[in-house]
Amino acid sequence: MIVSTPAIDEATGHAAEMLDEDLRADGFVFAYTSAMAVNPAAHEAFVALVRAIVPSIGVRTYELATLAAARAIGSPHCLLAHARKSLRAGVLDEDQLERFARTGTTPGLDEADAAVVAFAEKLSVAPGTMTDADTLRLRDAGFTDRQIVDITLAAAARNYFSRALLALAVPVDDVPGLSPGLSAALRTATRRRDVSGG
């Protein structure tokens, strides 16, 4: 990454808060945090968007949409970070996450979960092919109109964040708390199945 990022001892305002949060939690600043701290107002707006999305769909659905979008895009930064968030929130366990990273599927997902994953994947790789049939699958799984919009926003927001990190060639840091096997699977995860169909 050739973009100059804020120094820890020179950052102020929200940028300083971003760097301090990483330091307090993990003892170092993630490269993606430093990159986004170049425009802290944009990061703050992204955080506000996420906070507006999660209440209607809950952490589980948000994390499933996020993981599915990140895997479809091929974003190791977001796969690693949200695998850890999912583990801590009890969304998926290590075995489920490793299988998801390697195959795009995982045991234990109900109809609603599977619909979210499929929707987020397709939004991330073939949004121009999406029709009302894709939305109808979410509705048939029991999601309300507000939840359907927020699932869409969750996946779209991950596309924004993940693609920005990839475009800037932000280095991928090791994420504490993940086993070596899971970390390796997440770093190399790529989309292996066609999600462009109806």
Size of the chain, expressed as the number of residues it contains: 198
What does 132-144 look like in DSSP terms, one character per residue?
HHHHHHHHHTT--
Residues 179-192: tens digit of each pLDDT:
999 999 999 886 44
pTM to 2 decimal places: 0.91
Does pLDDT of 176 surpass 90?
Answer: yes
Separation between Cα atoms, residue 28 and residue 30, nearest integer Å: 6
pLDDT for position 142: 97
pLDDT for position 197: 44
Cα 171 to Cα 78, 92, 131, 187: the distances in Å are: 12, 26, 36, 12
Residues 60-81: tens digit of each pLDDT:
999 999 999 999 999 999 999 9
């075995």: which residue's tokens? 95
pLDDT for position 190: 63
Q: Where are the alpha helices (DSSP H) in the chain?
A: 13-26, 31-36, 40-73, 76-89, 94-103, 111-125, 132-140, 145-167, 180-187
Domain 58-187: CATH class, spelled out: mainly alpha
Does pLDDT of 130 surpass 70?
Answer: yes
Separation between Cα atoms, residue 128 and residue 114, nearest integer Å: 21
pLDDT for position 103: 87
Residues 82-111: tens digit of each pLDDT:
999 999 999 999 999 999 998 888 778 899
- In whole angstroms, what separates CA 30 from the centre of its chain? 15
Tell me the mean pLDDT in the region 16-29. 94
Beta-carbon contacts of 148 under 8 Å, excluding residues fewer than 6 positions away, are 135, 138, 139
Percent of the chain with pLDDT over 90: 88
**Strand, coil or helix: 198:** coil
The mean of the pLDDT values for the chain is: 93
Q: Is the dihedral of CA 180, 183, 188, 189 positive or negative?
A: positive
Does pLDDT of 55 surpass 90?
Answer: yes
